Amino acid sequence: MIKVLKAGIYTTIQDLGRFGYRNQGVPVSGSMDSISASFANALLNNNANDALIEITLSGPKLLFTNATNIVLTGAEMSPQLNEVPIQNYRVYKVVDGDVLSFGELKKGLRSYLAVHGGLDSETVLNSKSFYEDITSQWCLKKNDVLSFKSGIHEIENHESSIKHSHQFYDTEILEVFKGPDLELFSSVEQEKIVSGSYTVSKDNNRMGYQLEEISVVHSKSIITSPVLPGTIQLTPAGKLIILLKDAQTTGGYPRVLQLTEKSISILAQKNVGDKLYFDLVPTRY
Amino acid sequence: MKSYKLKFRAFGNSAILIEWPQRIVKEILEDIRIFSDKIEGKNIKEIQELNFVYASLLIIYNSDLISFSELKQKLQLLYDEDNSALQRHHALWEIPVCYDKEFGIDLDFLSEEKKLSIDEIISLHSGNIYTVYGIGFLPGFLYLGGLKKALHIPRRSTPRLEVPRGAIAIGGDQTGIYPQHTPGGWHILGKTPVSLFNPRSEKPCFATPGDKIKFRPVSRAEFELIQIAENTEVYELKKELYD
């Protein structure tokens, strides 16, 4: 088991998400950076949907009471095992009494901690992803105890083969498709929206990221319609809001652009003040 | 039944957004509901999820198995098939509401603002049948259409930070029930003791878009009784068929 000695700023359990309930108004949830989360599970030979811990901004302090293998991916948060620095993307054995802690955030925003076989936590509507009012908890807190199937497994470290792929978020460029409502805007306005340079505002969380700049001020409205993680809405005041994994399932602002899956993961590693640009990619028909 | 000209739009690379003429009318909602039932009935393996609200239907599909164009063609053919066997009754759900001032914290304000007595407000609100145009905004939040004009009122200029779970409220030309504690900008008329969303159930929200809702005023005493029944999971929402 894992005992939470310190919870960190915002530490949650996530899997790939809660699918099949959007028509009941249930957000998809799931790991914000699904690429890093997939690396973590793959490095342990876990299933892609196994539940892991998503750590945001500042890390927790965790005590292991059983032996297992662990791996960390995503943001670099100066992890330490029993006060000895360890590396991301490397499988470690832990035993009863080992303590995992974190230090300075060096790169990215969200780190993923996977244990062999995945966490064995509460499943609600076919998913272990935390979401307020759906799961009984919305973030981990001090003294929580998390269980997993214990046991050490001989796993080779394949870090050489993924050495470069974990730098996928070292970019300020997000690939976007045209959104369903982009055509409500003139070509000059469309150009302004797409080619603008943007900054992540302090209003950023698992529901969405609001960008700092005023893009195109408008008075166009749409009848409430479905939205997706990665949908970029343009508010009448001209602000762009990028909806993410915990976003509501419907929205009433024009949906001007749509992030690719990969770009959602890249954005999930961006913090307040980070710069962003869009690169319009063709829709595949 | 009338058929509409549909617009198929790519929404990212694994979703299709189908748009009907963008109007809030029951005929369009019903057409979407029938089409959605038809798609579900076919168990199309490439389709993962459907979600419709007002005049749009979102279809999430596996783009490894089918392209946008192929799926669009398949869906258009399905839409053009005869629907006559698919007309069906709607469920009419009765939601008990206690309009006591203890819960209806904006009744006095509304009474003054709309120049109506509190009894008139309650009878306007509960004497009407509403249509569920979709579920969104929050898990189990129903977009309800059909609020009487006399009760249309702008939202509060500043939203309340805490609206209690079960609050019945009006804002703009809409009415709704808050399924959870949440911030909210609508005016509160009362409270229902029943829960609108149960994540422990396979169908967490009782309603489906296209269903009808009516509110039945209950006394404070009946509110308490229903609440006890609800907590012990013996309360069942009253449902009738409605054409």
Residues A169-203 pLDDT 10s: 999 999 999 999 999 999 999 999 999 999 999 99
Asked if pLDDT for residue B170 goes beyond 70, the answer is yes
In this prediction, residue A164 carries a pLDDT of 59
In this prediction, residue A166 carries a pLDDT of 67
In this prediction, residue A161 carries a pLDDT of 55
Task: Mean pLDDT check: name the lowest of A147-161, B158-172, B200-214.
Answer: A147-161
Contact A224 B54 (CB under 8 A): yes
In this prediction, residue B161 carries a pLDDT of 87
* Structural contact between residues B126 and B214, judged by C-beta atoms closer than 8 angstroms: yes
Q: Residue A62 has what DSSP assignment?
A: E
Q: Residue A187 has what DSSP assignment?
A: H
Strands (E) located in A78-196? 80-81, 84-85, 92-94, 99-101, 107-115, 145-146, 173-178
For A80, the 3-state DSSP assignment is strand
Contact B199 A225 (CB under 8 A): no
Q: Does B66 touch chain A (CB under 8 A)?
A: no
Task: Specify the pairing of strand A255-259 against strand A231-234.
Answer: antiparallel
Contact B53 A125 (CB under 8 A): no
Phi, psi (degrees; rounded to nearest 5) at A188: -65, -45
What is the mean pLDDT of the segment spanning B101-116? Answer: 96
What is the mean pLDDT of the segment spanning A65-78? Answer: 95
Confidence of residue B235 (pLDDT cuts 50, 70, 90): confident
**Average pLDDT score, chain A:** 94
What residues of chain B lie within 8 A of the CB of A124, using their CB? Answer: 199-200
Asked if pLDDT for residue B85 goes beyond 80, the answer is no
pLDDT tens per residue, range B179-227: 988 888 899 999 999 988 999 888 899 999 999 999 999 999 999 999 9
Q: Return the domain boundaries, chain B.
A: 7-86, 90-242
What is the mean pLDDT of the segment spanning B88-92? Answer: 84
Of chain A, the percentage scoring pLDDT greater than 70 comes to 94
What residues of chain B lie within 8 A of the CB of A25, using their CB? Answer: 135-141, 179, 197, 205
CA distance A52 to A34: 11
Q: Tell the CATH topology of B7-86.
A: Gyrase A; domain 2 (3.30.1360)
For B204, the 3-state DSSP assignment is coil
CA distance B99 to B107: 9
Chain A closest-CA separation from residue B131 CA (Å): 15
Query: Comparing A77 with B3, which gets the higher pLDDT?
Result: A77
Mutate to test the interface with B, among A19, A24, A131 (most CBs of B within 10 A): A24
pLDDT tens per residue, range A96-122: 999 999 999 999 999 999 999 999 999
Confidence of residue A285 (pLDDT cuts 50, 70, 90): confident
A28 closest CA partner among A131, A115, A171: A131
Asked if pLDDT for residue B234 goes beyond 90, the answer is no
Contact A250 B136 (CB under 8 A): yes
Domains, chain A, with CATH or none: 2-167 (no CATH), 173-280 (2.40.100.10)
Contact A133 B48 (CB under 8 A): no
* Structural contact between residues A176 and A263, judged by C-beta atoms closer than 8 angstroms: yes
Asked if pLDDT for residue B240 goes beyond 90, the answer is no
Confidence of residue A168 (pLDDT cuts 50, 70, 90): very high
* Structural contact between residues A226 and B51, judged by C-beta atoms closer than 8 angstroms: yes
Asked if pLDDT for residue A260 goes beyond 70, the answer is yes
CA distance B35 to B79: 6
In this prediction, residue B236 carries a pLDDT of 83
What residues of chain B lie within 8 A of the CB of A125, using their CB? Answer: 199, 204
Q: Residue A39 has what DSSP assignment?
A: H
Of chain A, the percentage scoring pLDDT greater than 90 comes to 91
Asked if pLDDT for residue A159 goes beyond 70, the answer is no
> Which residue in the block uniquely carries the two structure tokens 């935390």?
A130
Interface of chain A against chain B, CB under 8 Å? 19-27, 124-125, 132-135, 177, 179-180, 222-226, 228, 230-231, 248-251, 255, 258-260, 283-285
A193 closest CA partner among A219, A232, A228, A231: A232
Q: What are the residues whose beta carbons fall under 8 Å from the beta carbon of B139, sequence distance 6 or more?
A: A21, A24, A25, A26, A27, A133, A134, B179, B180, B197, B199, B204, B205
Mutate to test the interface with A, among B51, B138, B141, B205 (most CBs of A within 10 A): B51
Asked if pLDDT for residue A155 goes beyond 80, the answer is no
Q: Residue A88 has what DSSP assignment?
A: T
Interface of B with A in 30-59 (CB under 8 A): 48-58
Q: In chain A, whose CA is at the least distance from the CA of B53? A: A225
Task: Mean pLDDT check: name the lowest of A21-30, B19-28, B87-96, B134-143.
Answer: B87-96
Q: Tell the CATH topology of B90-242.
A: Cyclophilin (2.40.100)
CA distance B201 to B178: 19
In this prediction, residue A158 carries a pLDDT of 61
Contact B50 A226 (CB under 8 A): no
Question: Is the ipTM of this structure higher than 0.85?
Answer: yes
Contact B24 A177 (CB under 8 A): no
Chain A closest-CA separation from residue B64 CA (Å): 12
Instruction: Specify the long-range contacts of residues A213-221, CB closer than 8 Å, at least 24 apart.
Output: A213/A239, A213/A240, A214/A238, A214/A239, A215/A239, A215/A240, A216/A185, A216/A189, A216/A192, A218/A185, A218/A189, A218/A254, A220/A181, A220/A184, A220/A185, A220/A254, A221/A252, A221/A254
Instruction: Select the residue of A25, A180, A230 nearest B137 (Cβ to Cβ).
Output: A25
In this prediction, residue B172 carries a pLDDT of 87
In this prediction, residue B239 carries a pLDDT of 87
CA distance B19 to B225: 44
Asked if pLDDT for residue A75 goes beyond 70, the answer is yes
pLDDT tens per residue, range B38-50: 999 999 999 999 9
In this prediction, residue A163 carries a pLDDT of 61
How many beta-carbon pairs below 8 A join chains A and B?
A: 121
With helix as H, strand as E and coil as C, how does A248-280 read?
CCEECCCEEEEECHHHHHHHHCCCCCCEEEEEE
CA distance A76 to A99: 18
Contact B58 A21 (CB under 8 A): no
Instruction: Select the residue of A132, A180, A222 nearest B11 (Cβ to Cβ).
Output: A180
A234 closest CA partner among A279, A283, A196: A196
**Average pLDDT score, chain B:** 92
Asked if pLDDT for residue A284 goes beyond 80, the answer is yes
CA distance B140 to B159: 20
Cα end-to-end span (Å), chain B = 15
Element (H, E) at A203: strand A197-204
What residues of chain B lie within 8 A of the CB of A260, using their CB? Answer: 12-13
Contact A180 B17 (CB under 8 A): yes
* Structural contact between residues B124 and B150, judged by C-beta atoms closer than 8 angstroms: yes
* Partner residues linked to A10 by β-bridges: A56
What is the mean pLDDT of the segment spanning B170-180? Answer: 91
Chain A closest-CA separation from residue B196 CA (Å): 11
* Structural contact between residues B94 and B192, judged by C-beta atoms closer than 8 angstroms: no
In this prediction, residue A234 carries a pLDDT of 95
Chain A closest-CA separation from residue B13 CA (Å): 7
CA distance A258 to B94: 39
Q: How many other CB atoms are there within 10 angstroms of residue B223's CB atom?
A: 22
Confidence of residue B97 (pLDDT cuts 50, 70, 90): very high
* Structural contact between residues B39 and B47, judged by C-beta atoms closer than 8 angstroms: yes
- Largest CA-CA distance found in chain A, in angstroms, rounded: 63
Q: How would you class B114 by CB atoms within 10 Å of its CB: exposed for 0-12, middle for 13-18, buried for 19 or more? A: middle
Of chain B, the percentage scoring pLDDT greater than 70 comes to 98
Instruction: Select the residue of A20, A180, A224 nearest B134 (Cβ to Cβ).
Output: A224
For B41, the 3-state DSSP assignment is helix
